[in-house]
Amino acid sequence: LHVHTGTRTEQTTAQSLAKAVSELRRSDVAFPVAETLGIPQLRAGQEMPEAKVLVLYTGGTIGMKSVDGVYVPVAHYLPEAVRELPPLNDKAYVEAHYAGAAIKPLCLPPVRHMHKRVLYWVCALPIKYPRLMEGVGKLVFRAVVILIVEYHPLLDSSDMTFDDWIRIARDISASYDMFDGFVVLHGTDTMAYTSSVLSFMLENLRKPVVVTGAQIPICEVRSDGRDNFIGSLIIAGELIIPEVTLYFDNKLLRGNRAIKYDNFGLNAFISPNMQPLAHMEIDIKGDIQKNSLQLINPFSQFNFFRNVCVK
């Protein structure tokens, strides 16, 4: 595994990374909430609670770099670049609360009507963080803290195999109790296959697993990748949709009901036999089809079903 610490990229193991992040402590530095965020429960000066999201970066166009006019995968490029993109990382918040952390998270800037900050790491490791389930399809308000883990080697999604699907599911399973949600960054060619397979491998989910990607890299001036990534982080950190989904072009599709039907358009994925589970509209909550969501069985336990993919 490779993880960007905030200053450099380091090679590590899941065990050592888990230990480092489990020891992560938030400082008590005051970081006021703007009065214009539309959060009735918080007064100016109060802070938003945090949600933690694990981002698994497998490869694909979303993280590619333009070299001589051609998009190419570049190791360690995406985690470093995301830290410098203001719409994707609130550097002031991270420095205020996690300046001394060995592995600094990333954090979505505050969004109007979001009641939580989303902290995230692009990396595969467990983080202990309790979560209160408030009901399927409900919006919970907190900051989203993010960790991005980069797989090695980065894959063109057309090269995805059974072993890669098992690896993704295994990493989610190993980190399941420590995160509030998961985002898988993936190439578009086989994204629908991956989301479908994961939906059968990850049984009795109580947390969102969102698969997304892009037609244009995230760091290009004109990019669908930023919106797809931000929307996926909001869903994984804010909404309680306990299943594997595919998010693209402001639509949230059930993971095993999505297909890619357009190689050149930004609206690349559709669900012919089922309406989208949600639309990301002006309201962050969007249009959630609550009657279509899978219900949480309070007596069932999450299970990583390994025998879906067999040779």
Active site residue ranges: 188
Spatial distance between the Cα atoms of 16 and 102, rounded to a whole number of angstroms: 12
SS3 255: helix
Establish whether 188 is an annotated binding residue: yes
For the chain, what is the radius of gyration of the CA atoms?
A: 18
Query: Using an 8 Å Cβ cutoff, are 269 and 246 in contact?
Result: yes
Scored b (16 or more CB within 10 A) or e, 126-138 reads bbebebeeeebbe
DSSP-derived secondary structure for 69-80: TEEE--TTHHHH
Query: Using an 8 Å Cβ cutoff, are 124 and 15 in contact?
Result: no
Establish whether 283 is an annotated binding residue: no
* Spatial CA neighbour of 261 closest among 156, 184, 165, 191: 191
Establish whether 189 is an annotated binding residue: yes
| Amino acid at site 261 | Y
Give the CA distances from residue 299 to residues 169, 174, 292, in Å, rounded to whole numbers and listed in that order: 22, 21, 21
Annotated binding site for substrate: 157, 188-189
Annotated binding site: 157, 188-189
